[in-house]
Amino acid sequence: MNGVKSSDRAWYAPDGRVGLMPIRGIKFVELPKVGQYVQALQPCGTGETSKATFSIYSPVSGKVAEVNHKAISDPSKISTDPYGTWLFKVAATSGTGHLKACKPYQIKITGSTSSHPKRFLRRPL
């Protein structure tokens, strides 16, 4: 990607929350708008660290139901608490079969080990 580090790794919770896997030093995020349709595995926002710009990908297709304005006003929280700081919620219209269950992060995101595992989009940088 022409020397720019692009991270499209995201987590998805059954309640529709979407967040990023750990990325150090996030300084800025631009997220999709409420009501916007996002497509699975397609860019829907951008982020910046002091060293690079990266695309934010939605792990599922659907309409954005809510945006976390705290993540926009203080994007450093995404770096310091990546599993507790969600970016936006999606009313999913696609399945999650293409996502991998990732039990090690389950408790970090939900606080439980329930039978509804989080799904993660893990693609190489």
Averaged in consecutive runs of 10 residues, what is the pLDDT profile of the chain (125 residues)? 35 85 92 96 93 90 96 94 90 73 60 52 46
pLDDT for position 3: 17
Domains defined along the chain, listed by start: 10-121 (2.40.50.100)
pTM reported for the whole predicted model: 0.77
pLDDT for position 11: 82
How many of the other CB atoms lie within 10 Å of CB of 71? 21
pLDDT for position 106: 58
